[in-house]
Structure 1
Amino acid sequence: MEKIVLVTGASTGIGKATAIYLAQNGYKVYGGARRLEKMEDLKGLGVKPVCLDVSSEESRVACIDQILREAGRIDILINNAGSGYYGSLEDMPIADAKYQMEVNVFGVARLIQLALPSMRKNHFGKIVNISSVGGKVTLPMGSWYHASKFAIEGLSDALRKEVKSFGIDVVVIEPGGTKSEMTGLGGAYMMAVSGNSPYGALAKGVDKMYAGIAKDAAEPIVIAKLIKKGIEAKNPKTRYVGASGAKLMLFFRKILSDKQFDKMVMSQIK
Structure 2
Amino acid sequence: MEKELLWRATGRGSKRQSTSTFHEVLDHKKHHHKEWITVDILNKIQERRNKKAAINTSRTRAEKAKAQAEYAEVNKQVKRSIRTDKRKYVEDLATTAEKATREGNMRQLYDTTKKLSGNRRKPEQPVKSKGGRGNHQHLRQQNKWVEHFEELLNRTAPPNPPNIEAAPTDLPINIGPPTIEEISMAIRQIKSDKAAGPDNVPPEALKADVAATAKILHILFNKIWDEEQVPKDWKEGLLIKIPKKGDLSNCDNYRGITLLSISGKSLQQGIVKQDEGLRRRPTS
Q: Above 0.5 in TM-score?
A: no
The TM tier, using the shorter chain, reads under 0.3
Q: Which has the higher strand share?
A: 1
Larger radius of gyration: 2
